[in-house]
Amino acid sequence: MSKEKKKKDKGKSFLETVREIDEKERRMEEEAEEKRRLIIEEKKKKEREEYDRKIREERIELMRLKQGVISESDKIETSPDELPKLSFWKKIVNFFYHSKWWLLITVFIVGVFTFMIVDYITTVRPDMIVMVLTDDSTLQISNDYLSDYFEQYVDDRNEDGKVSVDIYPIPVNSDISVSDYYTGNMTKLSSQFQLADSIMIITDAVANKTILSDETLENLEELFPDNRNVRGTGFYIRDTDFMEKVGYPDTVLDRDICISLRKVTKTYDSIEEMQENYDYAFGVLEKIMNDLPYEQKNRTLAPSTEAATEGGMQ
């Protein structure tokens, strides 16, 4: 089969799907911004019309006063020989009245940026983040156990007096029947891949295909050629004591579930920051590999499940 035919059969890539999601969100934001702009313009138009109407009425009333048609008016506070003069406080009130929308927008923008800055300064980041992209039900619900396991290999990098590893479960699968759920997960995945703080990930065959693992993940087989659990971009954990150490000794994982590292690339964060996080995650992975030597397991999945994972690591 030719390369072109393979590409056609491959379907949408992870990057194409991400671009479609980003484009959809961009269009939605543009539509919302256009609606807000129209509402503001309509309100400003009504204010201008009301202001012009009031000025016209006052001018007519002033002319009638000067011509002696009327002796006094309740629409303008002035004598026939004087133009209306506003007091200092009325000038302030008038300024706020005609500028209230711009002031509200300015206050809103300043408030948002202030909140973001304060949140960034005060929020304590975890010492490391591990993404769980496989939709394996056990790993998806084992956040606390996984945190406890990874924390034994992690230092107090943020110097807050404790060691913390955050687990980000993002189940990646090929089921797009529930489009909102699928799109939501792809959006979260896209967001994380554009940041530099989540280097270590747990994946499976479906997730690797979705994120184009050959392009986005480090080739561990070149770095650890003698490790029997390493194949391609993954450190496969089925033939290890990983599940025993996270509290599930009787659970059998699919053959294709593994721990991987993202490649260092340019993201929204600096490449220096991603390199620093990669170097640290690499050291943690080395410790995990030493703690999880290869052990031939005689356990098997249920026949139907085993058949479904036949394409995984044997």
**250 shares its domain with 173:** yes
For residue 267, tell me if it sits in a domain.
yes
pLDDT of residue 77: 56
**77 shares its domain with 131:** no
Confidence of residue 208 (pLDDT cuts 50, 70, 90): very high
Q: Where are the alpha helices (DSSP H) in 11-68?
A: 14-66
Average pLDDT estimate for 284-303: 78
What proportion of the chain, given as a percentage, has pLDDT over 90?
31
**H/E segment holding residue 147:** helix 143-151
**44 shares its domain with 155:** no
Can you name the residues that pair with 200 across neighbouring β-strands? 130, 261
For residue 233, tell me if it sits in a domain.
yes
Range of the domain at 73: 33-85
CATH assignment of the domain containing 152: 3.40.190
pLDDT of residue 58: 79
Task: Assess whether pLDDT exceeds 80 at residue 135.
Answer: yes
**197 shares its domain with 253:** yes
Task: Assess whether pLDDT exceeds 60 at residue 163.
Answer: yes
175 vs 151, residue with greater confidence: 151
Among 53, 85, 117, the domain boundary falls at 85
Q: Where are the beta strands (DSSP E) in the chain?
A: 128-132, 165-169, 200-203, 230-231, 234-236, 258-261
Instruction: Sort 291 into a burial class: Cβ within 10 Å, 0-12 / 13-18 / 19+.
Output: middle
Confidence of residue 113 (pLDDT cuts 50, 70, 90): confident
Average pLDDT estimate for 233-237: 95
Confidence of residue 281 (pLDDT cuts 50, 70, 90): very high
For residue 119, tell me if it sits in a domain.
no
Average pLDDT estimate for 270-279: 92
**76 shares its domain with 139:** no
Task: Assess whether pLDDT exceeds 60 at residue 143.
Answer: yes
pLDDT of residue 297: 65
Lowest-pLDDT range, 100-104, 201-205, 213-217, 249-253?
A: 100-104
For residue 314, tell me if it sits in a domain.
no
pLDDT of residue 230: 95
Place of tokens 């992209």: 133
For residues 168 and 132, the answer to whether their CB atoms sit within 8 Å is yes
Confidence of residue 132 (pLDDT cuts 50, 70, 90): very high
CA–CA distance from 215 to each of 156, 173, 253 (Å)?
A: 31, 19, 25
Average pLDDT estimate for 104-125: 73
For residue 170, tell me if it sits in a domain.
yes
For residue 167, tell me if it sits in a domain.
yes
Any residues with CB less than 8 A from the CB of 313 and at least 6 apart, and which?
Answer: 231, 234, 236, 238, 255, 256, 258
Count of structural domains, the chain:
2
Confidence of residue 305 (pLDDT cuts 50, 70, 90): very low
**144 shares its domain with 287:** yes
Task: Assess whether pLDDT exceeds 80 at residue 177.
Answer: no
Render the burial of 144-166: b for 16+ CB within 10 Å, e for the rest: ebbbebbbebbeeeeeeeebbbb
**168 shares its domain with 278:** yes
For residue 271, tell me if it sits in a domain.
yes
**148 shares its domain with 60:** no
Confidence of residue 99 (pLDDT cuts 50, 70, 90): confident
Render the burial of 55-76: b for 16+ CB within 10 Å, e for the rest: eeebeebbeebeeeeeeebeeb
pLDDT of residue 300: 54
**133 shares its domain with 259:** yes
pLDDT of residue 70: 65
| C-alpha–C-alpha distance, residues 309 and 236, integer Å | 14
pLDDT of residue 314: 33
**49 shares its domain with 165:** no
**55 shares its domain with 192:** no
Of these ranges, 16-20, 36-40, 187-191, 262-266, the one predicted with the greatest mean pLDDT is 262-266
Average pLDDT estimate for 106-122: 73
The region that residue 87 occupies, defined by phi over 0 for left and psi between -120 and 50 for alpha, beta otherwise, is beta
**153 shares its domain with 252:** yes
Distance between first and last Cα of the chain: 25
Average pLDDT estimate for 175-203: 80
Task: Assess whether pLDDT exceeds 90 at residue 172.
Answer: no
For residue 55, tell me if it sits in a domain.
yes
